[in-house]
Amino acid sequence: MNKHKYLFLLFSTLLLCGCGDSSRPKDLPTLFSCTVLVIQDGKPLDEARVEFHTEGGQKYVPVAYTDESGIAVMQTHGFPGAPAGKYKITVSKNIEDDVVYKTDENGEQAVASYNAYKTVEDQHSSMATTPHEVEVNRNTPRVEVNTGNAVKKKI
């Protein structure tokens, strides 16, 4: 098959399958770019969950996980950005430790047991107690959240 026929088939398949994004809800408001830098113990905190919450609750919750540089690029319903508004910011991170492995009947290693721990103080992961806030709009700068010292509280 020559190159042009291959491209035509690929393009036709994409059109028939619907390459457009039909999963965006019609009631999803306009989203504005927003990033959050999470600091813990004076260093960027990776793999932390960041959420934006409103006082009255909301249908679509902006959420993201921080990367290795502590930056979370907020998304709402899987789309980049957050709706305009005032939010409380919560940050949480859990880890698994004390992992014990066993060998299953197929000779594969499997987890037999582990302990889970919170690594961010409770005040930062609760909407009722978090001191962190942001107002999202067209000109929202990067927000910095400092979660203080690392903890290791068993869940």
Number of domain units in the chain:
1
CB 93 within 8 A of CB 118: yes
On whether residue 49 sits in a domain, the answer given is yes
**Does any domain span residue 107?**
no
State pTM to two decimals.
0.79
Q: What CATH number is attached to the domain comprising 143?
A: 2.60.40.1120
Assigned domain for 52 exists: yes
Q: Is residue 111 in some structural domain?
A: no
Closest CA to 76 of 31, 140, 138, 126: 31
pLDDT tens-digit readout, 114-133: 999 999 999 999 999 999 99
Q: What is the pLDDT of residues 64-97, one digit of tens each?
A: 999 999 999 999 999 999 999 999 999 999 999 8
Which range of residues forms the domain containing residue 63?
Answer: 25-93+121-148
Note whether residue 109 is domain-resident. no
- The answer to the question of residue 67 being in a domain is yes
Q: Would you say residue 101 lies in a domain?
A: no
